[in-house]
C-alpha cells in the first residue's frame, strides 16, 4: 500500500470534479524539512518553533532563531513556510526542571499571552522571522488569540520589529503575511473580526476541541470524550470557514484533524482547501481526495452540520467515507 501511495507523491491533490486542496506539512525542528519535502507537501503549514526553546536553560537569541528559520525557508525553495510564534505553556513547558505553579496551565499564561507579557521575546522572534523572510516565502502565525486587543498589541510589536530592521538597513519581506490560530472558542465565535484583521486563519483543532469540550487533551481519564465530530466543534470550524470566505482570506486546519483520513472528506465538504499535517499522513489524505467528488461531499457535509446528535453524525461519516465518489 505504501508503494502504491508513493506513486501519487507528485500528483496534485485534486478531487474528481476538479477542486484543488493544498496539503502542507507540520514540522517541529528545522531538520523536519527533509520529511516535509519527501512527503510531497506543497509547503510547511505549521512550524512549531517552541521546540527551539524547550529543554534548555537559556533562550535562543535572535541569531540562533534566524538561522533555524532561514534554513527552513531556504530548504522549501519558494514554497510557503508558515512559522508559528512561540507557543509555550500548558503541555509545552520551557524548562522541564521548573515547577509549574499555574493552577491550570492550559488556561494560563501560554502562547501569545506569554509573549505579550515578555515583549522582548516577541521582539527578537519577530526580528528573526522577518530576517528569514528575505530567504523564502515566510508567513507568520500567532497562536492562542482570544481577543482583538491581543492581536492589535501583537501587530504593534510586529511593526516595531520591522521598523528596527529598516533603521539598520537589514532586508526583509515587507509583505510578510500575519495570520492567527483559531483554537480558542472565543476566536471561532468571533472569527469575523479576526478574518478582517488578519491575512489568513489556521484552525488549531487540538486546542479548539480541548477548550470547546472542556477536555484536557493530555488527560487519559477523559480521552474518550475528546471527539472532533462533536457538533459544537464542527460548528465552530464552519463559522471560521465562513468568516474567512466572507473576507476572502485563506483558512487551513493544522491540528490533528487535518491528517485523519476519516475526516478528510468532511473537511473538504465543509469548504476547507488547505490541510496541514504530519508529513506521514500526506499521501493517504491525498489518496482520499483523489477519490472524492467535492459537490457530493458538500451536500453530505451540510447534512452532517445540521445535526445536533453525535450518534447520528457517526453513521453519516462512515457513509461519506464508504462512498467511492
Ligand atoms: C492545535 O492546537 O491544533 C495546534 C495545531 O497546535 P498545538 O497542537 O501545537 O497546540
Ligand atoms: Mg494549539
Residues with a CB atom less than 6 Å from ligand 1? 46, 48, 87, 183, 204-207, 254-255
- Protein residue with its CA nearest to atom 1 in ligand 1: 204
Entry field: residues in the chain: 325
State the Cα–Cα distance between residues 224 and 47, nearest whole angstrom. 28
pLDDT digits (tens, 9 = 90+) for 53-79: 998 888 999 999 999 999 999 999 999
pLDDT in tens, 97-153: 766 677 888 999 999 999 999 999 999 999 999 999 999 999 999 999 999 999 999
- Of the pLDDT bands very low, low, confident and very high (cuts 50, 70, 90), residue 165 is very high
Residue 12 has pLDDT above 50, yes or no: yes
Q: Which residue has the higher pLDDT, 94 or 140?
A: 140
| Nearest ligand, CA 254 | 1
**Three-state SS for 205?**
helix
What is the model's pLDDT at position 325? 42
Cell numbers at 131, concatenated:
530576517
The minimum-distance atom of ligand 1 relative to the CA of 207 is 2
What is Dmax (Cα atoms) for the chain?
Answer: 60
In this prediction, residues 234-244 reach a mean pLDDT of 98
Residue 100 carries which DSSP code?
Answer: P
Give the Cα separation of 111 and 144 in Å (integer): 6
**DSSP secondary structure of 75-90:** HTTTSEEEEE----BT
d(CA 12, CA 8): 8
Ligand 2 mean position, distance from CA 19 (Å): 28
What residues flank ion ligand 2 with Cβ within 5 A?
Answer: 183, 204, 207
The pLDDT, as a whole number, for residue 223 is 95
Q: Is 235 exposed, middle or buried (CB count within 10 Å of its CB: 0-12, 13-18, 19+)?
A: middle
Report pLDDT for 324. 47
- Rounded to an integer, the average pLDDT of 226-243 is 98
Query: Which residue's alpha carbon is at the smallest distance from atom 9 of ligand 1?
Result: 48
What's the mean per-residue pLDDT of the chain? Answer: 95
Are the beta carbons of 266 and 248 closer than 8 angstroms? no
Rounded Cα distance between 118 and 123, Å, is 9
Separation CA 132–CA 143 (nearest Å): 19
Phi, psi of 108 (to 5 degrees): -105, -150
Q: Span 23-39, mean pLDDT? A: 98
From the alpha carbon of 90, which atom of ligand 1 is closest?
10
CA angle 109, 68, 57 (to 5 degrees): 50
Q: What are phi and psi of 142, to 5 degrees?
A: -100, 125
Can you name the residues that pair with 48 across neighbouring β-strands? 84
pLDDT at 235 over 80: yes
pTM of the model: 0.96
Mutate which of 144, 201, 207 for ligand 1 pocket (most atoms within 8 A of beta carbon): 207
276: β partners: 24
Residue partners of 104: CB distance under 8 A and separation at least 6 = none
Q: For the chain, what percent of residues have pLDDT higher than 70?
A: 97
Residue 26 gets which letter from DSSP?
E
For residues 229 and 129, give the distance between their C-alpha atoms in angstroms, rounded to a whole number.
35
State which ligand 1 atom lies nearest to the alpha carbon of 202. Answer: 5
What is the per-residue pLDDT for 323?
61
For 33, the enclosing helix (H) or strand (E) is helix 33-38
pLDDT confidence of residue 89: 79
Nearest ligand 1 atom to alpha carbon 205:
3
Q: What is the pLDDT of residues 265-280, one digit of tens each?
A: 999 999 999 999 999 9
157: its cell numbers: 510589536
Amino acid at each position: 500500500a505504501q508503494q502504491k501511495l508513493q506513486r501519487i507523491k507528485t500528483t496534485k491533490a485534486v478531487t474528481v470534479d476538479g477542486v484543488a486542496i493544498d496539503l502542507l506539512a507540520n514540522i517541529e525542528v528545522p531538520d523536519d524539512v527533509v520529511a516535509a519535502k519527501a512527503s510531497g507537501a506543497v509547503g510547511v503549514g505549521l512550524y512549531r518553533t517552541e521546540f527551539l526553546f524547550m529543554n534548555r536553560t537559556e533562550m535562543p537569541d535572535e541569531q540562533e532563531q534566524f538561522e533555524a528559520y532561514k534554513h527552513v525557508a531556504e530548504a522549501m525553495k519558494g514554497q510557503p513556510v508558515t512559522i508559528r510564534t512561540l507557543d509555550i505553556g500548558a503541555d509545552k513547558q520551557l524548562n522541564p526542571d521548573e515547577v509549574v505553579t499555574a493552577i491550570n496551565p492550559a488556561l494560563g499564561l501560554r502562547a501569545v499571552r506569554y509573549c505579550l507579557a515578555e515583549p522582548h521575546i516577541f521582539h527578537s522572534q519577530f526580528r528573526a522571522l522577518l530576517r528569514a523572510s528575505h530567504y523564502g516565502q515566510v508567513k507568520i502565525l500567532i497562536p492562542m488569540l482570544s481577543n482583538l486587543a491581543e492581536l492589535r498589541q501583537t501587530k504593534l510589536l510586529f511593526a516595531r520589529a520591522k521598523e528596527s530592521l529598516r533603521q539598520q538597513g537589514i532586508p526583509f519581506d515587507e509583505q510578510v503575511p500575519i495570520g492567527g490560530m483559531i483554537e480558542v472558542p472565543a476566536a471561532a465565535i468571533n472569527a469575523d473580526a479576526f478574518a478582517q484583521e488578519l491575512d489568513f486563519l489556521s484552525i488549531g483543532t487540538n486546542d479548539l476541541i480541548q477548550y470547546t469540550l472542556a477536555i484536557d487533551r493530555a488527560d487519559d481519564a477523559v480521552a474518550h470524550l475528546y471527539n472532533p465530530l462533536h457538533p459544537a466543534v464542527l460548528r465552530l470550524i464552519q463559522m471560521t470557514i465562513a468568516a474567512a470566505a466572507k473576507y476572502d482570506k485563506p483558512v487551513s486546519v493544522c491540528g490533528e484533524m487535518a491528517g485523519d483520513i476519516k475526516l478528510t472528506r468532511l473537511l473538504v465538504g465543509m469548504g476547507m482547501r488547505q490541510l496541514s499535517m504530519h508529513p506521514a499522513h500526506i499521501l493517504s489524505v491525498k489518496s482520499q481526495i483523489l477519490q472524492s467528488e467535492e459537490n457530493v461531499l458538500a451536500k453530505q457535509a451540510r447534512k452532517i452540520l445540521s445535526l445536533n446528535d453525535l450518534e447520528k453524525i457517526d453513521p453519516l461519516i462512515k457513509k461519506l467515507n464508504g462512498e467511492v465518489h
